[in-house]
Every structure is written in structure tokens, then in C-alpha cells.
Structure 1
């Protein structure tokens, strides 16, 4: 009898664990969860169950295009233990971004999308710049083309503006996002759209005070770098969540905003605990081999060794382990 009671208690304990926060992301794929949608503050799957995405962001397409290929995306799923990849397409730069090379940049994005579909993972199509409010028509043209070609796939998510600067949410950003949302919805009425928030996508509290209405499946971007953005930002974001705002962390780093900083493992773990407690999805910055503490790969990592143990930085090791848990 005592043994039976212990067994029952053990099963009860296991069943009480939120499995969405205790599974290897590599097995939580599109074929399992299907089309995603937003229910209150939660991302949910085709069955209405909470789902959590954990994965990797590709570095700026203009600076590390060698990782924008099918081989890397396969490794992001298989070896980085991810169920989402973020395609961070450079837009407004002097180095060949979308504004100067729309065909070339679009081709890189499409390569990643098709590889994500092949590898059964989700993909965030990211308009990666800080002045998108100045490039509304170009953004509309890009998202119209992408949504027309891929909007019928459950794999696709759209990120309309990477990191707005210190601009007004209600006067500048919200109208911009609403225009892009309308453009996407012509072709894709259902897939999730993630919208950037003021001050490098930190001020989700401002969006919570004046959210986008009359639209479904909209989420709001939160970015953090663990060494710089600490409890104060978690508190601010928790307040927005408590008001019902659905948040997606499309970019985070284990270091601070200084690219030459060191990894802050303790603060990163505090963030991961908070993210998992709130069942928030997140993508790590970034799959690259640059000389930055947040880079997941050591220098000169070949594409066929992405996320292999011998080629991971300290940050990469921590992130891959987190994606497994």
C-alpha cells in the first residue's frame, strides 16, 4: 500500500509540471503544434494548448550571410535543439541591406524560410533595422511578397520592426505596425505577427497601455541583454503581461549591450527562469562567429559544425543546454 501511494504521489507530481517548459525544443516542432495563435497573453498551438518556442537568431544577413543556408538551419534544429529560427534581414545599412539589394536579401530570407519548412521548425521573418518608420513603403512591399509566397504555411511568423528607438508608441509605431499588419493580412489572415516596441523593444508597458485592436494573433517584442537589463525590465514586462499583453522575446543575449562584454551566466539564468515561468518564447542572439560575447560560435566555425560542442562559445553552450531543458 505504501509503495502504491508513493507511486501515485510521484505520478501526480510529474503531471503537475508544465511540460511546455520542460521539453527539448527540438521535438516541439511544427508537425506537432501546427498553426500558432494568440490567446490572451499566451502563444497556443492548433489545439489551443500553450506552446513555447526556443531557438536561435541568425546574425545580420549583410554581415554573416555564410550562415544563411539550409545546412545551418538544419543544425539550428538538430544540434542547437531549437524549434524556431529568426531570419534577421538587414535593411538600412551601407553594406548591401534590403534598401540597396532587395532581391539578394529576399533570396537569403527565402532560403531560410524554405529550410525551416524542410526541418519542421518555425521561422520569424524579421525586418531588422532601427528606423523602419522611415521605410514604410519598402517594408510593405517586402512583407506583401513574403506573405503571398509563404502565408499558407504554419511555419511563418512576421516581425515587422526589430528595434525602434526612443519614438512614440501611439503616434509613430502603432500606426506603422497597423499598416504592415493590413498588408500581411491580405495574403495571410492567421499567422502570428510580432511588433516592435519603443526603446530597442523594451517598453512593452507602453504597448500594454494602448494595444493594437481589431486584429488577432498579434504579439509584442521584448529584447534584453542579461548583463544590462535586469530585474527592473522583468518587472516592467511582468506588468505588461499582467495586463494581458502577449510578449515574444525575438532577441536576447547572455551578455550586456557592450558587444565586448562577458557572459553574465547568473543573470541569464534568472531571465530563463522568469521566461519559463511565464511560458514566453525566445530566440538567442546569435548564430555567428564574431568577436562578441553573445556569439554562439567560435571564430571560423564552418556551417557543417554549427552548434557542435567543439565550436560553441560559453554563451553557445549555455543557450543550447537551455534549449534542451
Structure 2
């Protein structure tokens, strides 16, 4: 009887061993990309550029999706959204992997007039992104940055000194040069000056370079690219209700030239930020971005009464938004960002 019982006792043990062998691996044994508890930065770590792709520290192609804040200009009303709580809520509610701080560089209301206030707003968004485990684009938001390169050098040197040792940080050194601002003689020399200032402190975090014609002429920029520096991408901006196949053709030329692009700003509405979202045109762009594994941040987290705003007037500046707080564009963008990795 004792022998029989011993044999019976072995059977459950054997089945238990078989079941254990067939069980899925515990989270801590899974690759980072398969672990649901990992933040985007824990998953991908330090970003770099390989050919025309942005890659993570394990060599995987990375395509980020998230939201850009509105201009941080003092007196324009968007300052109230520059807080860690708003960043945390966007990271959670949108399932965003990147946010963008659009730090105003212009003389009136921007860094030139209020440097301490602009630095504080940048720090709030950056600190919030680090706490949330998402990437953060530090954007020098200007249409004439070449007029005051010393401000950009000063600002980005400080950002690199404070945050250059964190993998979360992405430097965007010139939001949108104008159509008549020449790449070869103006934008490129300015960019090299700022890049060299950043690289003197931070040798490896990603730098995104603005391009001529409101960051659309990526074909021309990549025909005469920045040389002598690694981990450089080029800025592509579009507004779906205005820009179509001709701009995608420019982007494709840049990619075919072998250079990485980053869509640091885009809208589902027209180029003036007005009107209703063009759902069909937006989907064509989303398909293009996904097919080419491009990263993006949508314009913009603000409650201004315009089509591009994600929030309705009076929405809380610190998150906790319901569906009723989102505009038509906001609901569309949240859906797109939430489904980015699907």
C-alpha cells in the first residue's frame, strides 16, 4: 500500500513539472519589449541613429508616439500646462511614449525676455517625463533662431548639463525655419554651432535638426547633411488637411538618402491649426509614419479655441480629463497614440 501511494503521489508531481515547463516565462525573464510593466525608456533605453532609423539600446527599431505642448510664451495661456502632473496623465491616458516641451525662444514672452521662467517650464516637463519613464523632446520653438544663436547655445548647454546623463532626453534645436531661411548658409551653420555646444557636454543623446520651409524640406537638408556628429535626425512637420503626397515624397527622398526623420510636430487639421480634423488624410499620414517607423508628437496640448487643440476651453491644466474634455482632434489623437504599437 505504501508503494502504491508513493506511485500515486508521483503523478501530480510529474504533471506539475510538465505544466511548469509549458508555462509562459515570468515577466522578469521576458525580453524588455514583451514586459507589460516596463516604461518606454526602460524598454528601449538610450536611443541612437542607425541609417535612416532610430533604434533602442538593444538594436531594435523605435517608433515613439505622443503629444507636443503649445508654445510656452509668457502671456499666451499655455504656461499652466507645463507641469509634471499633465505629463504623467498624458503618459497614462494616451499611453504616450514621448512628450514635447515647446520652449518659446522669441524675444517677446520667450527665453530672450524670461529665461528663468522658460527654464523652469522646460524642467517641469522634463522632470515629469523622467518620472513617467517616457522620452521628452526639448524643443527650441522659434521661426528665427539664427538671430540669437547665443541663446540656443546657452539654453541647450544648461539642458545637457542637467539632463544629458538621462536617456529620456531628445534635443530639438530649431522648431521651424522659414521658407526663405536657407539651409546651406543659415540653418546648417546655426545647427552645427548648437550641436557642438551640446556634444561638448552630452556625447550621445539624440539631436533633431530643423529644416527649411517650416521643417518640410528634408530632401534638401539630407542632400547636404550635418557631418562629423552621430545620432542626428532631421525634423519633418506636416498638417494633414494641408500637406499631402508631395511632402511624403520629400520625406521618402530623405529616407532613401539614408537619414533618419522625426516628426516632432504634426496636426490633423490645416497648417494654420484651424478647422476640423481631416480623418482620411490623417490616416494616410499615420500609415506612412508607421510603415517607415517614424516617431511623432501631435500639436498640441492646449485648450485654445482652435482646431489643433487637444483640450476644450477650461480643461484642467493638470490632467484628469474625461472624454468630454477632449476636442474632436484630441479624441482622434488619443486613439492614434493609444494604438501606435498595434
| TM-score greater than 0.5 by the shorter chain | yes
Q: Name the Cα RMSD after superposition.
A: 1.6
Q: Number of paired residues?
A: 302
Instruction: Give, in whole Å, the separation in 2 of the partners of 1:46 and 1:282.
Output: 19
1:56-95 correspondence to structure 2 within 5 Å? 56-62=67-73, 63=76, 64-94=78-108
1:34 lines up with 2:48 in the alignment: no
Instruction: Give, in whole Å, the separation in 2 of the partners of 1:27 and 1:86.
Output: 21
Cα deviation digits, residues 181-216 of structure 1 (max 9, x gap): 000011100000000000000000111110111110
Aligned to 2:173: 160
1:170 lines up with 2:168 in the alignment: no
Aligned to 1:214: 228
Instruction: Give, in whole Å, the separation in 1 of the partners of 2:191 and 2:198.
Output: 10
Contact 2:81 2:318 in 1 (8 A): no
Larger radius of gyration: 2
Cα deviation digits, residues 26-50 of structure 1 (max 9, x gap): 9661011100000000000000110
Please list every run of 5 or more consecutive structure 1 residues that lacks an aligned counterpart in the other structure: 1-19
TM-score, L = length of structure 1: 0.90
Offset at 1:305? Answer: 3.8
Divergent runs of 4+, >2 A = 25-28, 303-308
Aligned to 1:6: none
TM-score, L = length of structure 2: 0.86
Residue 73 of structure 1 aligns to a residue whose secondary structure is: helix
Cα deviation digits, residues 240-294 of structure 1 (max 9, x gap): 1111121000000000013332211110000000000000000000000111111
Instruction: Give, in whole Å, the separation in 2 of the partners of 1:77 and 1:311.
Output: 17
Instruction: Give, in whole Å, the separation in 2 of the partners of 1:257 and 1:78.
Output: 28
Instruction: Give, in whole Å, the separation in 2 of the partners of 1:235 and 1:308.
Output: 38
Residue 271 of structure 2 aligns to a residue whose secondary structure is: coil
Aligned to 1:105: 118
1:148-297 correspondence to structure 2 within 5 Å? 148-166=161-179, 167-297=181-311
Instruction: Give, in whole Å, the separation in 2 of the partners of 1:255 and 1:184.
Output: 34
Instruction: Give, in whole Å, the separation in 2 of the partners of 1:92 and 1:232.
Output: 31
Instruction: Give, in whole Å, the separation in 2 of the partners of 1:136 and 1:306.
Output: 39
Contact 1:260 1:291 in 2 (8 A): no
Instruction: Give, in whole Å, the separation in 2 of the partners of 1:155 and 1:255.
Output: 29
Aligned to 1:8: none
Structure 1 217/110 Cα, relative in aligned 2: closer, same or farther at 3 Å?
same
Structure possessing the higher relative contact order (Cα contacts under 8 Å, 6 or more residues apart): 1
Residue 187 of structure 1 aligns to a residue whose secondary structure is: coil
Structure 1 266/28 Cα, relative in aligned 2: closer, same or farther at 3 Å?
farther
Please list every run of 5 or more consecutive structure 2 residues that lacks an aligned counterpart in the other structure: 1-32
